Structures are given as structure tokens and as C-alpha cells.
Amino acid sequence: MYYPSFNGIPFFTNFFAQYLTMYLWAMLRDDIICALSTPQGVGALAIVRISGANSSALLTPYFVSKRAKKAGLESHRAYFGDYSIHDEHIDEVLVTYFEEGKSFTGEESFEISCHGSPYIIGRIMESLLNAGARLADPGEYTMRAFMNGKLDLAQAEAVADLIHAENKTMHDVALRQLKGGLSNEISLFREDLVHFASLIELELDFSEEDVEFASRAQLLKMLHSLQGKVGALIDSFKYGNAIKKGIATAILGAPNAGKSTLLNALLGEDRAIVSSIAGTTRDTVEDTFNYGGLTYRLIDTAGIRDTEDYVEQIGIQKAFEQAEKADVIFYLIDATAPEEDLEQRIAHLEQSAPQAELFLCINKSDQAEASTILKRLEASKRQIFMIAAKTKDGLADLLTALKEATAWTSHGASQTIVTNARHADALRRTSLALAKSIEAVELSIPGDLLAQDLRLALDGLGEITGTISTDDLLANIFSKFCIGK
Ligand SMILES: Nc1nc2c(ncn2[C@@H]2O[C@H](COP(=O)(O)OP(=O)(O)OP(=O)(O)O)[C@@H](O)[C@H]2O)c(=O)[nH]1
Ligand SMILES: [Mg+2]
């Protein structure tokens, strides 16, 4: 099934397609879904969610509440009562009722708060399934909210981001997106485009009369301005991605420099094997830690040296690959045994990983004096950190500097940030279409080709908010959600 949009241009086909979509959706909506929305296992309380037209009828045989009986159900109110199956009392529960149109999904919905016993939850779920409900698919509540126009697609995706947010920054970004931050911006972009696209389409209808409804000067101005705004959003994805996935922080250095010790010290657990044998770490070891409201993805790597060992060579190759992708590199120098070619290694790293913030750390400062190394590093003009990963000396200063160096991630505190690769991809396509539209106007290319480019730009924007979506896309997005959300 295709949920089409014709970019707000009021064609008969648009009306027909939307009517068909609504009709098909109305047919699908007939079923009632239920799911446990809290984690599986024993807990103090659990919440079972039910959504679908006429779901109150499904609950009636099981749930008895004096107040509901007396005064009837009122939306957004909780009702205390007994949950029984064929006169067998299962639990005392609290049922919250949401009227159709006023619930998260837009459908009549209930939330049953029961005691968090797997037995009770199992019995309640079983009774609902027996009464005709079906188990919700992952993300189906949010998908229904989207289909019923309660959320657009970018907002629906923000629900998943909010649930999975591991740090304050990601939480703030997801919340802003859920409240419509990104969607509003995209809608404004679309409004401008739709206005001109409709005028150009209109010109096509009068093509024989050689009229120009859309001022090309104004169109060009709007396209340039839009291109700038779309470009800014695309650029923000660099921050968004780092915020969401963690700022890639690679630890590099010679074997035995103490890289794995530093990883363990920063994580606060024995994540990687530490030993005095050079060449202990072969593969990369990765884990995240939160600091200052951000998530860092620490990557311990194999010590860099010339070796005949084939497996170790692969590990060293991987270390360089990580360096090339890193946002930050901690280059560890063993104070007790600095590399002979230290200067060349640093120069090589600066060249192969120019994108990364490079921190030079002299480790094992508890064991050796470092004045000679410091002298050798003077030429690099980089800030140098004296640390002892084993005793954790100097790590507080290192973390403070790390936070300062990655302050760019808070660039979007008051600005919309794109954190979703799908959105970034759609924006890139929009940007390409805008560039082609600009070219078309500048070269006075015929209106039908310009209209096509404008439509492509609109499609790109429409994909973000879900004005344009396909079954496959929706299935792909919502399958990543939890069951019960
Ligand atoms: N005295 C002292 N010893 C340290 C310090 N950091 C690490 N070591 C020791 O140095 C040795 C090597 O540490 P690792 O963390 O395994 O070194 P690595 O860089 O991961 O080594 P490879 O995995 O072989 O590349 C171990 O015996 C650690 O206990 C430090 O700050 N001070
Ligand atoms: Mg190691």
C-alpha cells in the first residue's frame, strides 16, 4: 500500500488517494491490540495497554469498578476495581480510560495497572486475547498514532529516541523533536515550496498562453534561502549522530602503553584484558560511558608496532581505521618506554585522521619522569596530559578537556538537530533537487522540468514527516520500537 501525497497541490487524484487510504485504514482499525508496556518479569506494578475501536466492550466482562458503574467512563480518569475472569478474582487494578480522539493512538484506549506478577500479567493478557484482542506488533501504538494523525513520522521516531536516550543531550533533542521542533521547520520549508510549485503547475495548465504566475526572481530567492536552511540541517547531522551514537573516542598508542588500563579506568570496570605482555589487545574493544551529559564511545585498540604476526597486523589496521573515523583520539605514550619514532607517528596520525581532536597523553607518569618526552613533543603544539591510568591520576583533567573539546555537540541546544540517518538522507536528496531547481530557474529551463525538480524537493521533505511513506518504510521504522509502545 502507498500512502501518497501530492504535495498539497489539490488534484482530484490527491483527494481520491487520500480517501482510499483513509478507507483502508478505517478497515484495519477494526482490530483491538493489547500488550504489556512495562518490562517483562517481576515488578511492583505492570501496565497492560489496550487500543482499538470499542475496546471498552472487550474489557467489560472482566473489569468491575463501582465508580465507573455509577458515573460511567470519563476520559483521562483512573478507575479502581476488580479484574476477574469467569468469577475468578485475578487482581485489584487501576484502569485509565482514554476516549477515542483523545488518546495517544487516537483510538479508544485503556491502560490497566496491575501488580507486576508474571502470573497476573499472563492471565490478564490471555483474557484479552480470548476476548478478541490481538498482540500488538512492535511500535504499533505509535504507528496507529501516526496513521490517525496524532503524530507525524518524525515525531513518531522521536518517541523511540526518547525511550532510548542515554544522555541528557539526546533526551533534550528527542523531546524537542517529539514536540514538533523538526516537523515545524520542515512544514515551513514545504509551505514555501508548495506555494511556488502550485503556481508553476498552474502555468503548465496555461502553457499555450505563455503566462508566468510565479515570479522567477522571488522563486530563486526562496530556493537559495531554503537551500541554506536545508544545508544547515544536513550539517547538524554530524552533531546529531555523535550525540545519538556516542562521540567516537579512540585510544591509540604503542603496545603496553596502558590503553586498555585507561579504557577500564574511564568505564569503571574491567572491560578489556590488561597485562604486561605487549600485544595483549588484538581486536578493538568498545563501550560507552556518560560524562557531562554526553555519551562517549570509547574504543580500545591494538598497540601499533611493526609485527610479523598476521592477526596482530589486522588489529593494527583496525586501529588506524578507528582513528580515521574518530571524533577524538587519545594517543598514549608510555613514560617508561617512549617510541623512538614518536614524532613521526604523531605526524602520521595528524595526517590520516585530520577530523579528530588529538590528545597526547603521557601515561605511567607515576613511574617515570617525562621531561625528555615533553621536549620532544614541543613541536606538536598540542596540549599534553600527564596521566597514570592505573592510579587514575590526571584523568579528571583529561575528562574536563574532553568535554570542552566536544562542546560542539551542544551546538544545537537552541537549534534543531537531525539525529536520524533517514532524515539526513531525505534532506540530502532535497538539497540535490533544490540545486537542480535553482539551475533550472537560472537557465530558464521549461516549466515542466522545473516542476519535476520542485516535486522531488517536496518529496524529500515529505518523507521526513511521513506525508509520503510506504508500507515498507513504516514497517522498517516501527519494527525497531518496543512492543507496547
Ligand atoms: N605503573 C603504571 N602501570 C601502568 C599504568 N597503566 C598501565 N600500566 C601497566 O602497563 C601494562 C600494560 O597495560 P595495558 O593496559 O594492557 O596496555 P595496552 O596499551 O592495552 O597494551 P596492548 O594491549 O598490548 O597494546 C600493565 O601491566 C598495566 O598494569 C600506569 O598508569 N602506571
Ligand atoms: Mg590493550
Q: Are residues 121 and 200 in the same domain?
A: no
Q: Are residues 251 and 362 in the same domain?
A: yes
- Cα(244) to ligand 2 centroid in Å equals 27
**Which neighbouring-strand residues pair with 328?**
249, 357
Is residue 145 in some structural domain? yes
238/408: higher pLDDT: 238
Is residue 3 in some structural domain? no
Q: In this structure, how many other beta carbons lie within 10 angstroms of the beta carbon of residue 148? A: 17
Residue 6: the pLDDT is 38
Q: Are residues 273 and 134 in the same domain?
A: no
Asked if the model's pLDDT at residue 363 lies above 80, the reply is: yes
For the ranges 94-98, 226-230, 384-388, 443-447, which has the lowest average pLDDT? 443-447
Asked if the model's pLDDT at residue 26 lies above 70, the reply is: no
- Cα(266) to ligand 2 centroid in Å equals 14
Looking at ligand 1, which residue's alpha carbon is closest to its atom 16? 274
Q: Which of 256, 307, 398 to mutate to test the pocket of ligand 1 (most atoms within 8 A of CB)?
A: 256
- Cα(139) to ligand 1 centroid in Å equals 46
Segment 378-389 mean pLDDT = 91
Is residue 352 in some structural domain? yes
Is residue 89 in some structural domain? yes
Q: Are residues 159 and 292 in the same domain?
A: yes
Alpha helices in 101-180 (DSSP H): 118-130, 140-147, 153-164, 168-178
Residue 147: the pLDDT is 92
Position 170 confidence tier, pLDDT thresholds 50, 70, 90: confident
Q: Are residues 198 and 282 in the same domain?
A: yes
Q: In this structure, how many other beta carbons lie within 10 angstroms of the beta carbon of residue 204? A: 12
Position 30 confidence tier, pLDDT thresholds 50, 70, 90: low
Q: Are residues 267 and 343 in the same domain?
A: yes
Based on the structure, what is the number of domains in the chain? 2
Q: Which three cell numbers stand for residue 372?
A: 625528555
Q: Ligand 1: does its nearest atom lie under 6 Å from the Cβ of 301?
A: no
Least Cα distance to 355 among 311, 390, 396, 406 occurs for 406
Ligand nearest to the CA of 252: 1
- Cα(274) to ligand 1 centroid in Å equals 6
Task: Specify the pTM.
Answer: 0.73
**Residue spans of beta strands (DSSP E) within 131-246:** 134-135
Q: Which of 150, 178, 201 is the last residue before a domain boundary? A: 150
Least Cα distance to 418 among 203, 202, 170, 211 occurs for 170
Looking at ligand 1, which residue's alpha carbon is closest to its atom 11? 276
Asked if the model's pLDDT at residue 385 lies above 90, the reply is: yes
Q: Are residues 119 and 233 in the same domain?
A: no
Residue 15: the pLDDT is 47
Is residue 297 in some structural domain? yes
Residue 3: the pLDDT is 36
Is residue 403 in some structural domain? yes
| Three-state DSSP state, 408 | helix
Is residue 166 in some structural domain? yes
Q: Ligand 1: does its nearest atom lie under 6 Å from the Cβ of 275?
A: yes
Segment 18-24 mean pLDDT = 52
Residue 293: the pLDDT is 82
Is residue 12 in some structural domain? no
Q: Are residues 166 and 133 in the same domain?
A: no
Q: Ligand 1: does its nearest atom lie under 6 Å from the Cβ of 293?
A: no
The span from the CA of 336 to the CA of 363, in Å, is 8
Strand 285-291: give its sheet, edge to edge. 285-291, 294-300, 247-253, 328-334, 357-363, 384-386
pLDDT, tens digit, 9 for 90 and up, residues 465-478 = 998 777 877 888 88
CATH assignment of the domain containing 327: 3.40.50.300
Q: Are residues 184 and 99 in the same domain?
A: no
Q: Ligand 1: does its nearest atom lie under 6 Å from the Cβ of 264?
A: no
Q: Which of 363, 390, 392, 398 to mutate to test the pocket of ligand 1 (most atoms within 8 A of CB)?
A: 390
Q: Which of 87, 119, 150 is the last residue before a domain boundary? A: 150
Segment 321-341 mean pLDDT = 96
Amino acid type, 212? E
Q: Are residues 164 and 232 in the same domain?
A: yes
Q: Which of 103, 125, 150 is the last residue before a domain boundary? A: 150
The span from the CA of 113 to the CA of 92, in Å, is 9
Looking at ligand 1, which residue's alpha carbon is closest to its atom 14? 258
Residue 383: the pLDDT is 85
Find the domain containing 92 and state its range.
31-150
The span from the CA of 284 to the CA of 252, in Å, is 10
DSSP secondary structure string, 287-353? Answer: EEEEETTEEEEEEE-PPP-----HHHHHHHHHHHHHHHH-SEEEEEEETTS--TTHHHHHHHHHHH-
Least Cα distance to 62 among 74, 77, 79 occurs for 79
Q: Which of 261, 299, 333 to mutate to test the pocket of ligand 1 (most atoms within 8 A of CB)?
A: 261
State what percent of residues in the chain have pLDDT above 70. Answer: 92
- Ligand 1 atom at minimal distance to the Cα of residue 276: 27
Q: Are residues 130 and 264 in the same domain?
A: no
Q: Are residues 327 and 406 in the same domain?
A: yes
- Cα(261) to ligand 2 centroid in Å equals 7
Q: Ligand 1: does its nearest atom lie under 6 Å from the Cβ of 167?
A: no
Position 23 confidence tier, pLDDT thresholds 50, 70, 90: low
Residue 324: the pLDDT is 96
Q: Ligand 1: does its nearest atom lie under 6 Å from the Cβ of 361?
A: no
Strand 134-135: give its sheet, edge to edge. 63-64, 77-85, 88-98, 109-115, 45-51, 33-36, 134-135
SS3 labels along 55-75: HHHHHCCCEECHHHHHHCCCC
Ligand nearest to the CA of 390: 1
CATH assignment of the domain containing 128: 3.30.1360.120
